[in-house]
Amino acid sequence: MAKKLHDTPNLDQLESGPWPSFVTGLKHLAKDKDYVVDLLGQLEESYKTKKGYWKGGTVGVFGYGGGVIPRFTELKNEDGSPKFPDAAEFHTLRVMPPPGMHYDTNTLRKFCDIWEEHGSGLIAFHGQSGDIMFQGATTENVQKAFDEFNEMGFDLGGAGPAVRTSMSCVGAARCEQSCYNEAQAHRAVLNTFLDDIHRPSLPYKFKFKFSGCPNDCMNSVQRADMAVIGTWRDNIRTDEALAKKWFAKHGMDELVNDVVARCPTKAFQVKEISKIKSGEHISSVKVSDTHAVEIDNQDCVRCMHCINVMTGALAPGKDKGATVLVGGKSHLKIGGLMGTVVLPFIKLDTEEEVEKLVDFAQRTIDFFAENALEHERTGEMIERIGLANFLDAMEVEVDPAMVNSPRMNPYVRTDGWDEEVAKINAKKQAA
């Protein structure tokens, strides 16, 4: 039995209503833990005053420089003692999840037992970077909890100016749209940078995310300094039985309005069967006895829309791989940035091919470490130096797939033009 709960009239109002309540959960923990009684006390004070009361500090585990988010209370009495002394320290351990965030219940139960013993008993699945967040431990208990998680085969994630914890989608484990082995790439890349994860020493954070197809369920394009997004080069595959089944259920209106009209490059047409073209870059499939769809794959940008609507009837091709985009980030300091295409297509079928991605990631991080200003993200660095200079350093050939359009202003010195053209021609001839 823990001490008596503080009055929490504000938080109490978050116990009603149908959605699961974190307040009810905290109160359950508070039955046995003075720690959580005082946490609720401090949180109620925030609800009353509309102010936060945690400050950072330096807490870690032996051998690592990051992975723990320290929190000390700033809610003090006049004599400087904490108002809620049992929750005066409330540190979080960031632990890296397995790719795709799969668990067996045995593992989850062990997490619970460890965190009930050493921490608050509050766990978030998962934080915005993908970490399992074990929320709330005293300075003394951080090491004890980590040792036990670590013995289970789990490791701390990133915090501060470090390579951060990554996320990958469910991908090949359950999704028909998966275009590479996300889990393999995720582990191969991240586990190369363990030193940069555990000992923060980069100019600022660096995030990788892995999405198996252009639906980008990991939101990598706007959240990752390096986004690896699955795609394919050959034609969309078709399945006549499933196409006819889809059409029988949805009909011509939906085919025209939801699919044909929504194809961003008008690569998707519906035609009478006799008018369907054939050719190297054409995918077609009958949807009824009279009509078929025809996709010109050279015009297709692999947006996924038609495949999402007619899943199974249409599917990504077989020559799969990924597009790599660099420089995504959120608002601060120059405004949000989407990642931009740096590698239009790479294969990721074999270990050697995955190794090439790892090598590219390594060179990007090295360049970032050398060239970014303090607190500058990769996207900001590229904006400052220009994409062409970044590509040059990465030894990546320029490609029109990297731009929305060529430049719209004349403010560039072009006296190296002939030399560049000669280089391109020489390469063409050598190929």
Partner 1 sequence: MNQAVQAAPAAKRKPKETGVPENTQYLHPTLAKNYGNWKYHDRPRPGVLHHVAHSGDEVWSVRAGTQRQMDVYTIRKLCDIADKFAEGRVRFTIRSNIEFIVSDEKKVAPLIAELEKSGFPVGGTGNSVTMIAHTQGWLHCDIPGTDASGVVKALMDELYEEFRREEMPNRVHLSTSCCEINCGGQADLAIIVQHTKPPVINHDLVANVCERPTVVARCPVAAIRPAMVNGKPSLEIDESKCMCCGACYPPCPPMQINDPEFSKLAIWVGGKNSNARGKPTFMKMVAAGLPNNPPRWPEVSAVVKRILTVYKEDARGWERLADWIDRIGWPRFFEKTGLPFTKYLIDDWRGSRYNLNASAHIRF
Binding residue count for partner 1, defined by CB under 8 A: 141
Contact 315, 307 (CB under 8 A): yes
The residue range among 134-142, 287-295, 363-371, 416-424 that interacts with partner 1, by the rule CB under 8 A, is 134-142
The residue range among 21-29, 283-291, 394-402, 416-424 that interacts with partner 1, by the rule CB under 8 A, is 21-29
Out of 1, 4, 62, 278, which residue is the one contacting partner 1 (CB under 8 A)?
A: 62
Out of 35, 41, 75, 92, which residue is the one contacting partner 1 (CB under 8 A)?
A: 92
Site for partner 1 in 394-423 (CB under 8 A): none
76 binds partner 1 (CB under 8 A): no
d(CA 342, CA 151): 39
Out of 2, 5, 6, 72, which residue is the one contacting partner 1 (CB under 8 A)?
A: 72
Site for partner 1 in 334-353 (CB under 8 A): 334-336, 338
335: left (phi over 0), alpha (psi -120 to 50) or beta: left
61 binds partner 1 (CB under 8 A): yes
214 binds partner 1 (CB under 8 A): yes
The residue range among 179-187, 292-300, 393-401, 422-430 that interacts with partner 1, by the rule CB under 8 A, is 179-187
326 binds partner 1 (CB under 8 A): no
Site for partner 1 in 264-283 (CB under 8 A): 264
360 binds partner 1 (CB under 8 A): no
Out of 70, 82, 161, 379, which residue is the one contacting partner 1 (CB under 8 A)?
A: 70
252 binds partner 1 (CB under 8 A): no
For partner 1, the closer of residues 143 and 288 by Cβ is 143
Please, which contacts does 137-143 make with residues 24 or more away whose CB atoms are closer than 8 Å? 137/89, 137/90, 137/91, 137/92, 137/93, 138/35, 138/89, 138/91, 139/59, 139/70, 139/89, 139/91, 142/59, 142/60, 142/61, 142/68, 142/91, 142/93, 143/61, 143/62
345: left (phi over 0), alpha (psi -120 to 50) or beta: beta
d(CA 61, CA 341): 38
Out of 2, 5, 6, 21, which residue is the one contacting partner 1 (CB under 8 A)?
A: 21
Q: How far is CA 229 from CA 219, 252, 327, in A?
A: 10, 32, 14
For partner 1, the closer of residues 172 and 396 by Cβ is 172
Q: What is the DSSP string of 243-258?
A: HHHHHHHHHHHHIIII
For partner 1, the closer of residues 219 and 288 by Cβ is 219
Contact 112, 132 (CB under 8 A): no
The DSSP secondary-structure symbol of 339 reads: -
For residue 382, give every residue at least 6 positions away whose Cβ sits within 8 Å of its Cβ, in sequence order, or none: 326, 327, 340, 390
262 binds partner 1 (CB under 8 A): yes
300 binds partner 1 (CB under 8 A): no
53 binds partner 1 (CB under 8 A): yes
The residue range among 67-75, 274-282, 291-299, 361-369 that interacts with partner 1, by the rule CB under 8 A, is 67-75
Place of tokens 């200003």: 373
379 binds partner 1 (CB under 8 A): no
Contact string (CB under 8 A) for partner 1, positions 136-175, x = contact: x--xx-xxx-xx--xx-xxxx---------xx-xx-xxxx
Site for partner 1 in 222-241 (CB under 8 A): 222-223, 229, 239
Site for partner 1 in 183-212 (CB under 8 A): 183, 186-187, 190-191, 194, 197-198
For residue 324, give every residue at least 6 positions away whose Cβ sits within 8 Å of its Cβ, in sequence order, or none: 226, 227, 228, 229, 341, 342, 343, 346, 357, 360
* CA dihedral over 101, 107, 110, 114, signed as positive or negative: negative
* Nearest-5° Cα angle at 133, 131 to 136: 160
297 binds partner 1 (CB under 8 A): no
315 binds partner 1 (CB under 8 A): yes
End-to-end CA distance of the chain: 77
The DSSP secondary-structure symbol of 201 reads: -
35 binds partner 1 (CB under 8 A): no
